[in-house]
Amino acid sequence: MSSDASKADRIRELMATEGDAVAENTRGFNEGRIESTGRLDDYEELKGDAREIKEDAIGRLPELIDRVKESVEANGGTVYLADDAADANRYIAELTAEERDADRLVKSKSMTSEEIEVNEALEEEGVEVVETDLGEWVLQLADEAPSHIVAPAIHKSREGISELFAERFDLDDPPETAEELTMFARERLGELIEDADVGMTGANFIAADSGTMLLVTSEGNARKTVTATDTHVAVAGVEKLVPTVEDFAPFVELIGRSGTGQDVTSYISTLTPPVGSPVPDFRNDADPLADGSGDDRDFHLVLIDNGRMAMRHDEELKETLYCIRCSACSNACGNFQSVGGHAFGGETYSGGIATGWEAGIEGLDTAAEFNDLCTGCSRCVPACPVEIDIPWINTVVRDRINRGEVDSGQTDWLFEELVPDEEPAGLDLGTRVVGNYETVAKLGSLAAPIANRLADAGPLRALAERVTGIDRRRDLPEFASESLVDWFERRGGAAVPADDAAREAVLYPDTATNYVDVDRGKAAVRALEALGVHVRVPDLPGSGRPPLSQGMISTAKSSAEDAYAGLALHVDAGRDVVVVEPSDLAMFRSEYEKLLPASSFERLADASYDVMEYVFGLLENGGDPGALRAPAEGTGPVASGKRVAYHPHCQARTIGVGEHATAVMERLGYDVRVSETECCGMAGSFGYKTDYYELSMDVGEPLREQFGDTDRTVVASGTSCGEQLDALLGTPPMHPVELVAPRE
């Protein structure tokens, strides 16, 4: 994509042409994953086992490469270690076009072969290449790239495929139903396979000690490809190696469930090539499987580096090599559900994990084209069967992109004076403004209400859109004239004396609560004090969430160190840290592991609580529910009585605190309906950006469908969620603590 304008146009086009099909299929896969994995009692244990195997294998990769070479050669096969795509294609072309004089090669589905573009290389040598996977064959006929790692034609509708077949095969009465389309493809492909000279597969996993391959497929075409020809070429990245066949076990349980929601995929094949079965002679009706014909079978394993060994030594990108290509991260991602891999993807790979693959294989320029579509919502993290921290990989790559794009000769004197962050001069202005939102909020609060009036002025919004990329269609947050910290000090501090308190807590004044949504902070103070807590609201720095979201890791690390220094004094004194904004709590419990020493991270993570989690704990330990506000009819913010529509924050779900608000509200007598949408689409600054405004709203559309005509009181725990729900429904939601806190 050559410009931001073309990126926005491309996203709009894909939402209009492919979005519905992608959304229906990915959401179906995601729901299937949740149901299927829910039936596994040892799901988390299996994920831990799978990660341990991959971590060990990548650590021992040079050893495993040597071992598999010995194993395959002992079986009578050949192993070729290719440095890059060109090297792999040269070897494969020489083998097929020259040594075998092949006219046709048939392939089962393989993302690695897509990566090296082997089809194009072989066709240049006069070898016809036929994809035997139905989705890949459809895309080959349409001359399109895959949109999904597992389901490459996920963006295609049944009607569209019917029209494609009619056009390509000049059909007057084309097949229409799914069964008819499948049977038509099976018949055509069967004829092509019969006349093939060479078969090519990928490999989901390869056991180094025996050369045994595991192939996991939905259609069985890998088996046909292997058995129908006398020459089998397997193409695989070196990261597919594991030590033994026994190591296949957790992946067999996880890969289908994670990718498509199937307990077990249709075909699970283990083979140790060259296989010993006879080579079929489709023209010999009398003796199609002649004895001894299997002796002529030839096997070549092409192991591909193509940047992987360098990734192995890159501590931030190394986890990408643990990926088992299941696509769970794509299926769980709200943005991917709306646009698919043709926008949220690079040269080969798509979805959240694609940033790591494309940065390591193609380079930062390719990753930069779609990296911003990862919003860090974190819903891919629990979905990943090998526990890869995909948002962190995206953040690291974003940081490298930032530093690669800056003009070292440019001096941002204004920002160096006003916001001395840790980033180099020349950083994109929009990135820098959002990354320094804490400073913007402080200044805005000091200048409120003048700043609020100016922010709504049309000419200034138009200027801000051009300079910073903040879309004028979004309502900007209104800054409070008095911060939460100042209010707490003015009211005289804690209302519950420390000597009379059951517990002591520090209410963390996150940037949004302190300078914008002060009322939810006041409500949190009232709720905690009603339950006998001695509350403090000290003046503390921001958590570093805004700069981290922009890939400004050095600035985020500095903020984390400052925030920890301020909070450590209270943790040392035995006080609990209570957090209103879920994205800040996620920093303390998750991202700070990357930004602080391990001991500091663990101390703060163990001492920190979501405000509703904390209220739940107080009630569970003897707190009086009668001290909080139960449902009531009448006027005011809870006029609808006990019926509540609640949208938990995406990161709150990931760190396991999203359900506490539901539990508290239900305990007080509220009838709670929880949203089915995992991410609202706002995602901090993402929804403000002009390039992504329509996408953000599209991701949030299921929320409008679920809550748009409700007479329930709408409640949301996150700042971004509240802004998005306000835009979608026309009414700002309450924070759960505002619902249950005693009135002032």
pLDDT given for residue 634 in this prediction: 43
Dihedral Cα 318, 319, 324, 327, nearest 10 deg: -120
Domain count of the chain?
2
Residue 617 falls within a domain, yes or no?
A: yes
Residue 293 falls within a domain, yes or no?
A: yes
Identify the domain containing residue 277 by its residue range: 53-308
Among 375-389, 433-447, 583-597, 614-628, where is mean pLDDT lowest?
A: 433-447
Residue that has been written with the tokens 């004239």 in this structure: 481
The token duo for 666 is 């239900």
The token duo for 132 is 């035997």
- What is the DSSP code (8-state) at residue 97? I
Over pLDDT 90: what percentage of the chain? 80
pLDDT given for residue 532 in this prediction: 97
Residue that has been written with the tokens 């330990």 in this structure: 621
Q: Is the pLDDT of residue 254 over 60?
A: yes
How far does the chain reach from its first CA to its final CA, in angstroms?
53
Cβ atoms of residues 393 and 553 within 8 Å: no
Q: How far apart are CA 57 and CA 251, in angstroms?
A: 14
pLDDT given for residue 413 in this prediction: 53
Residue 604 falls within a domain, yes or no?
A: yes
Residue 133 falls within a domain, yes or no?
A: yes
| CATH number of the domain enclosing 303 | 3.40.50.10420
Q: How far apart are CA 616 and CA 624, in angstroms?
A: 11
Q: Please provide the DSSP assignment of 525-561 as one string.
A: HHHHHHTTEEEE-------SHHHHHTT-HHHHHHHHH
Among 218-227, 580-589, 611-620, where is mean pLDDT lowest?
A: 218-227
Q: Is the pLDDT of residue 592 over 90?
A: yes
The token duo for 201 is 């597969």
pLDDT in tens, 670-688: 999 999 999 999 999 999 9
Q: Is the pLDDT of residue 282 over 70?
A: no
Domain finish residue from 250, 275, 308: 308
Helices (DSSP H) in 158-232: which residue ranges?
A: 158-169, 178-194, 221-228
Count of other CB atoms within 10 angstroms of residue 169: 11
Q: How far apart are CA 230 and CA 213, in angstroms?
A: 17
Burial group, residue 117, by CB count within 10 angstroms (0-12, 13-18, 19+): middle
Mean pLDDT of 138-150: 95
Among left, alpha and beta (phi > 0; psi -120 to 50; other), residue 715 is beta
pTM, 2 dp: 0.93
Over pLDDT 70: what percentage of the chain? 94
Domain finish residue from 293, 308, 323: 308
pLDDT given for residue 1 in this prediction: 38
Cβ atoms of residues 472 and 462 within 8 Å: yes
Q: How far apart are CA 643 and CA 712, in angstroms?
A: 5
Residue 374 falls within a domain, yes or no?
A: no
Angle at Cα 354 formed by Cα 80 and Cα 202, nearest 5°?
30
Domain finish residue from 308, 327, 362: 308
Confidence of residue 277 (pLDDT cuts 50, 70, 90): confident
- Measured in degrees and rounded to the nearest 5, phi and psi for residue 579 equal -120, 135
pLDDT given for residue 455 in this prediction: 79
pLDDT given for residue 414 in this prediction: 54
pLDDT in tens, 455-508: 788 888 888 888 888 999 999 899 999 999 999 999 999 999 999 998 999 999
Return all residues near 286 (Cβ < 8 A) that are at least 6 apart.
none
Q: Is the pLDDT of residue 230 over 60?
A: yes
Residue that has been written with the tokens 């938990």 in this structure: 648
Q: How far apart are CA 28 and CA 148, in angstroms?
A: 14
- Please write down the HEC assignment for all residues of 651-667: HHHHCCCHHHHHHHHHH
- Mean pLDDT for the chain overall: 92
Nearest to 414 by CA among 432, 441, 391: 432
Residue 453 vs residue 70, higher pLDDT: 70
Mean pLDDT of 656-670: 96
pLDDT given for residue 2 in this prediction: 41
Residue 220 vs residue 29, higher pLDDT: 29
Confidence of residue 636 (pLDDT cuts 50, 70, 90): very low
pLDDT given for residue 103 in this prediction: 96
Residue 284 falls within a domain, yes or no?
A: yes
pLDDT given for residue 407 in this prediction: 53
Count of other CB atoms within 10 angstroms of residue 680: 29
Residue 179 falls within a domain, yes or no?
A: yes
Q: Is the pLDDT of residue 376 over 60?
A: yes
pLDDT in tens, 70-111: 999 999 999 999 999 999 999 999 999 999 999 999 999 999
Q: Is the pLDDT of residue 435 over 70?
A: yes
- What is the DSSP code (8-state) at residue 350? B
Q: How far apart are CA 295 and CA 499, in angstroms?
A: 87
Confidence of residue 522 (pLDDT cuts 50, 70, 90): very high
Residue 472 falls within a domain, yes or no?
A: no
The token duo for 34 is 């949740």
Q: Is the pLDDT of residue 638 over 50?
A: no
Q: How far apart are CA 46 and CA 41, in angstroms?
A: 10
pLDDT given for residue 276 in this prediction: 78
